[in-house]
Amino acid sequence: MVSVIDGMKLSEVQREALFDERSQVLVSAGAGSGKTRLLVAYFVRALIEEGIPVDRMAAVTFTRKAAGELVSRIRQSLEECGRADLARALDSATIGTIHGLCRRLIGDRSLDAGVDPAFRVLEAEAAKLLKSQISGLAWEAVAEKADEATLEVLATRPRSLQKDVVALYDRLRGMGFERPRLDVPASPSDGGAEAALITAVREALAAGEAVAKPGAALLDSLGKLRSCLSWLEMSTSLDERAADLDATNAFFPSRKTSSMESWFAPVREALTRYRQVLAGVRLGPVVDAMNVLLAEFHERYEAHKQEQGLLDFNDLELRARALVEAANSGGSGPIMPGCRVLVDEFQDTNEVQCGLIEGLGAERLLMVGDKHQSIYRFRGADVNVFSDRERRLEAGGYEQTGGVHRLTVNYRSRQSVLAFINTLFSHLTFFGTEFDTLETPAADKATETVAPGSTPGRPAVEVVVAQRLEAPENGGSRPAMQEAEAQVVADRIRRTVKEEGRRQRDVVLLLPAQTHVESYQRALMARGLDVYVVRGKGYYAREEVTDIVSLLRVLLNPHDDLALLAVLRSPLVGLSDDGLYILGQQGRRQRSSLWEVARDGGPDPLGDSDRGLLAAFIQKLAQMERRVGRPGLARLIEDALEACDYDLCLLAAPDGGRRFANVRKLMRIADDFEALEG
């Protein structure tokens, strides 16, 4: 019998994972090993050959873009198999992010979840702004009613506490705490730590002073021990010593004198234990103050969300988890019995999310990911979730109902590149023996040739070394290491383009973080190279992006004064600052929105030029409003560009090509969003 997956070019290991009928299957998929192909094949086979209804299929991805791509590939595969009916019905399947799944679960059971049926999701950027505002209000409220101890903590750490309370709140909520609170063990008593340290220091001093010809390293360490002993013998309280905790950093003896290690090692251990005692004393008031701040922040944040009918991402996870737990323990049974659930990028989930997915009651659960590619720990991802499931399944856990498969064949790289990757990441500095060696398909190994466009004899991998720049001669701090790296990389790319004849569009620069994107951008542009930042820090804050986003907000709600002001001042309209001031003054006099003033043509003091620009914009806006609500958000943006001649303004501006590319990127984001959300 011919299977629908016969034409999908699956490897033997992919087929084994695909036909594994155990209830929980984990696939460890190395980079470029065809995990998306496996997910598509699993989905299509379940629909066509196993007859699983579309609405009983669910796939969880990490981003909306990934979900949109998965939907597109599944639909294409179904059409190629002659099942256009299933391709059309695919919208009834749950394919999206974990928060999209949670949103659907809560929306279907809003009363059970205790939320407004018309709830809205507070997106990450909006939540970030709201939390920043509320943290300031919470800090002021706590400061007004704080006791002396709390007030002292607030006074010494005003900015850091206000910022840290949001990060800590998010972290604790991501761990599953409904009402975040720090529960730190009570400060340990001295417990003889001080006496043990004094004994260890005196014994080490006696041994060191008995050395006939001490070297410089030993003399330095003995000096540190004498300072430590003098500090300990001072008549001060534990609280006073805790306040002077930083001074103890200078008391650790060196490891350079191997002959003294039997004496110095006990000193380090005793000093570390005593520092822990002091840290506990010092930490107590800070923890108390932080809990007061957390409580105040929580009350204000929850009140605002409830008033506006909002749920943030953590709310979605916690409310959905509560629904699943209630269904499983209340007798009604699992929420999604008999379903098939697929999870992509499983290494970037956390325990709350994983517990929610496992509690759905799916007939089969396929988890795909690579623990060595976990990069979202700062967002609450916990790679231990992947490692723990992998360990248990390999050891025969889950009552022998699950299994592990490993995809190690890489379809994207040449063997010479993979050899370097394998050598690097198999080193103990990185993953050691835990790293699964990657290899090319067997057919490629036998026929590997020089890649198209490559220079024969040139190595496939080149390591470029940078040396950190020195501080300026006229003073100032030493530049960050990334500045030196940016210069070296920019030089190498310039040679690639100018001397080796490569096209600029064929060169891609990947960075580990967005923090220093601008340093690399400046270095490349200084060498006459065009730069297109695919994803950089502050993309949505770029002028051309905020202009278009503001216009979309005005189309939805022309009474949004802030958005309208941004549009009127931008090249979309080009109103003068004087004209904006006159409109604002008139709005305050009439106690009306900026739109109501602008729609009426503006007050008399408005100049003829501004009045003409305003009238033309209102006419164009009326035409664009007719398209709102129809499919084709990217097309709406394109129409707005042409109607307002904004594309010409961008291209005529300095760095116009990059600015226009950013707008095009926004259009692609809009397409991805519509493909997923409709």
Domain boundaries of the chain, sorted by first residue: 9-117+315-407, 122-308, 416-447, 464-470+477-536, 539-677
Output phi, psi for 417, to 5 deg.
-70, -45
What is the reported pLDDT for 538? 64
What is the reported pLDDT for 228? 92
Confidence of residue 44 (pLDDT cuts 50, 70, 90): very high
What is the reported pLDDT for 298? 96
Give pLDDT tens digits for 120-144.
998 887 888 889 889 989 988 998 8
What is the reported pLDDT for 268? 94
> Once rounded to an integer, what is the mean pLDDT over residues 442-452?
58
Looking at the predicted structure, is the pLDDT value of residue 224 above 90? yes
Q: Which of 78-87, 302-311, 442-451, 634-643 has the lowest mean pLDDT?
A: 442-451
3-class secondary structure for 579-606? HHHHHHHHHHHHCCCHHHHHHCCCCCCC
Eight-state DSSP code of residue 479:
P
How far is the C-alpha of 557 from the C-alpha of 543, rounded, in Å? 21
> Which helix (H) or strand (E) element contains residue 105?
helix 98-108
> Once rounded to an integer, what is the mean pLDDT over residues 368-387?
86
Query: Residue 427, Cα to own-chain centre: how many angstroms?
Result: 27
Looking at the predicted structure, is the pLDDT value of residue 536 above 60? no
Residue 316 burial (C-beta neighbours within 10 Å; 0-12, 13-18, 19+): buried
What does the block give as tokens for 127? 């939540």
Give pLDDT tens digits for 182-213.
887 665 566 788 899 999 999 999 999 999 88
pLDDT-above-70 percentage for the chain? 94
Looking at the predicted structure, is the pLDDT value of residue 451 above 60? no
What is the reported pLDDT for 657? 78
Looking at the predicted structure, is the pLDDT value of residue 262 above 90? yes
Q: Which of 76-80, 396-400, 512-516, 650-654 has the lowest mean pLDDT?
A: 396-400
Q: Which amino acid is at 69?
A: E
Of these ranges, 353-367, 542-556, 570-584, the one predicted with the greatest mean pLDDT is 353-367
> Once rounded to an integer, what is the mean pLDDT over residues 217-242?
87
Looking at the predicted structure, is the pLDDT value of residue 459 above 90? no
Confidence of residue 468 (pLDDT cuts 50, 70, 90): confident
Bridge partners of 340, per DSSP, are 57, 364
Looking at the predicted structure, is the pLDDT value of residue 55 above 70? yes
The answer to whether the CB of 464 falls within 8 A of the CB of 487 is no
Looking at the predicted structure, is the pLDDT value of residue 222 above 80? yes
Is the domain 539-677 a CATH 1.10.486.10 member? yes
Give long-range contacts, CB 8 A cutoff, 24+ apart: 630-639. 631/674, 632/674, 633/670, 633/671, 633/673, 633/674, 634/667, 634/668, 634/670, 634/671, 634/674, 636/552, 636/555, 637/548, 637/552, 637/663, 637/666, 637/667, 637/670, 638/667
pTM, rounded to two decimals:
0.69
- Residue 232: which of 194, 177, 272, 189 has the closest Cα? 194
How far is the C-alpha of 203 from the C-alpha of 224, rounded, in Å? 14
Residues 9-117+315-407, CATH architecture? 3-Layer(aba) Sandwich (3.40)
What is the reported pLDDT for 187? 55
- Residue 417: which of 459, 456, 463, 464 has the closest Cα? 459
What is the reported pLDDT for 654? 74
Q: Longest Cα pair distance anywhere in the chain, in angstroms?
A: 97
How far is the C-alpha of 562 from the C-alpha of 445, rounded, in Å? 60
Looking at the predicted structure, is the pLDDT value of residue 609 above 60? yes
The answer to whether the CB of 267 falls within 8 A of the CB of 201 is yes
Looking at the predicted structure, is the pLDDT value of residue 525 above 70? yes
pLDDT-above-90 percentage for the chain? 37
Angle, helices 608-625 vs 543-556, to 10°: value is 70
Give pLDDT tens digits for 486-495.
999 999 999 9
Confidence of residue 447 (pLDDT cuts 50, 70, 90): low
Looking at the predicted structure, is the pLDDT value of residue 72 above 70? yes
* Higher pLDDT pick, 350 / 153: 350
Residue 403's SS3 state is strand
- Calculated CA dihedral for residues 546, 551, 556, 558, nearest 10 degrees: 110
Give pLDDT tens digits for 1-34.
567 777 788 889 999 999 998 999 999 998 889 9
